[in-house]
Amino acid sequence: MTDRIYISCAPKDYKFLEYGWKIHISGTIWDSENILKEVSKICYEHEVAFKCLMDKEIFDASQNKAAPRGSSGKFITIYPESEKHFKFLISILYDKLKDYNGPYILTDRRYGEKGIVYYRYGSISVSSVVIDDKDVQILKTKDGKVFIDDRKPVFQLPSWVKDPFRSEEKKPNKELLLNNKYKINKVLRFSNAGGTYLAYDLLNNNRLVIIKEARPYTVQHGKYKDALDLKETEYAILNKIKTLNVSPNPIDFFKEWEHAYLVESYIEGKTIKEFVAAENPFVTPNASLEDFNQYYKK
C-alpha cells in the first residue's frame, strides 16, 4: 500500500495496536538500498508490518535543512505486535544494522551506543485530532490516563509507560557549557541541521558570540558529505575573508558528543528581515523615486 510519501507492507489481517512501541530506522541516502534490503528481509521473516519512504527524492527531502525536525531521519517504521515482540525485533535489527550511520531521530531514543536503530512509544492507529492548529493523537487508558502524542523533537513517554532499556533516574542539574566555556544565553533559531545560539564566552569577559550547530548525517549531499562538512567549509571561508571586514570573525570550531559547532563574533544590528520591514519604501505611502534610490544604496 502507498500514500503520499510512504510504501507500507503488512501481513494479511495484521493486528495493528492502537498505540505502543515503534521502531524507527535512520540511515544515509548512500546506504539506503542496503538498509532497506536488510530490514525488509527481517520483517518478512518475522511477519511484522513496516513502512518506508517511497524513493530517494523523498528521502533527500526528509533530511535536508528545512525538513520538519519531528519526522526527520525516519526512513523505516516498524510496528511490533507487543512489547515482547518489540524487544525481540529491536535486538535482531540492531545486530544487523549497528555499523550503519544516519541522523539522530530527535523524537526517539537510540538503541545501543551507536547505529541507526531508534524507538519511541506512541500512536499507531489512533485517529488524529487538531489542537492549536496541529494534528496530534490522544492516547487514553481504561483508567482515564491521557497522553498527547504531538511528536515534538524530544523523547517523551506517557506517565504509565517505562522504557524497557533505560531507567528514568534524574540527572544532577549541572550547568551546560559547550567546549567548557560557552554558556547558552538563548536560542535564535532551530533547523533540522542544528540550532543557532547566542552565548557567553566565559573565558573572554563574557563576550557575546554566535554558535552554529551541525547535526551529523543531516543535509546529506555530494559524495558522503553532510551538515558537518558544510560547517567546516563555512569556518574555512570565514578565515579566508576575515581581513576584509565584511563578515563575522571566526572564533572557534569544535566537536562535542557527535555534533560540530562553529563560533563566530556577534555583531549588533538589524537582521535583513528587520531592515526590510523598517526601511522598505513599498510600505511607505507616496514614496518618491529618491526614497527608492536611498533604499537600494542602503
Give the domain CATH number at 249. Answer: 3.30.200.20
| pLDDT, position 49 | 97
**Predicted local confidence at residue 286, as pLDDT:** 87
Looking at the structure, tell me whether residues 102 and 207 fall in a common domain. Answer: no
Hunting for cell 496541529 — which residue is that?
134
Same domain as 114, residue 234? no
Residues 127 and 221 in one domain: no
Q: Which three cell numbers stand for residue 67?
A: 525538513
What does the pLDDT read at residue 175?
A: 75
Is 61 inside any structural domain? yes
Q: Which amino acid is at 1?
A: M
- Residues 21 and 91 grouped into a single domain: yes
Residue 183 located in a structural domain? yes
If asked whether residues 22 and 132 sit together in one domain, one would say yes
What is the predicted pLDDT for the residue at 215? Answer: 97
- The residue count for the chain: 298
**How far is the CA of 173 from the CAs of 170, 176, 284, in angstroms?**
9, 9, 51
Q: What is the pTM of this model?
A: 0.88
Q: What is the distance between the alpha carbons of residues 161 and 165, in angstroms, rounded to a whole number?
A: 12
**pLDDT tens by residue, 190-221:** 999 999 999 999 999 999 999 999 999 999 99
For residue 288, is it within any domain?
no
Looking at residue 278, its pLDDT comes to 85
**Residue 140, domain extent:** 6-149
pLDDT at 169: 65
196 bridge partner residues: 189, 212
pLDDT at 282: 84
- Please tell me whether residues 26 and 121 are part of one structural domain: yes
Into how many domains does the chain fold? 2
Query: For residue 133, what pLDDT is reported?
Result: 79
Same domain, 143 and 214: no
In terms of Cβ atoms closer than 10 Å to its own Cβ (0-12, 13-18, 19+), residue 146 is exposed
The answer to whether residue 156 is domain-embedded is: no
Weakly modelled stretches of the chain, pLDDT under 70: 1, 169-174
Position 37 scores a pLDDT of 98
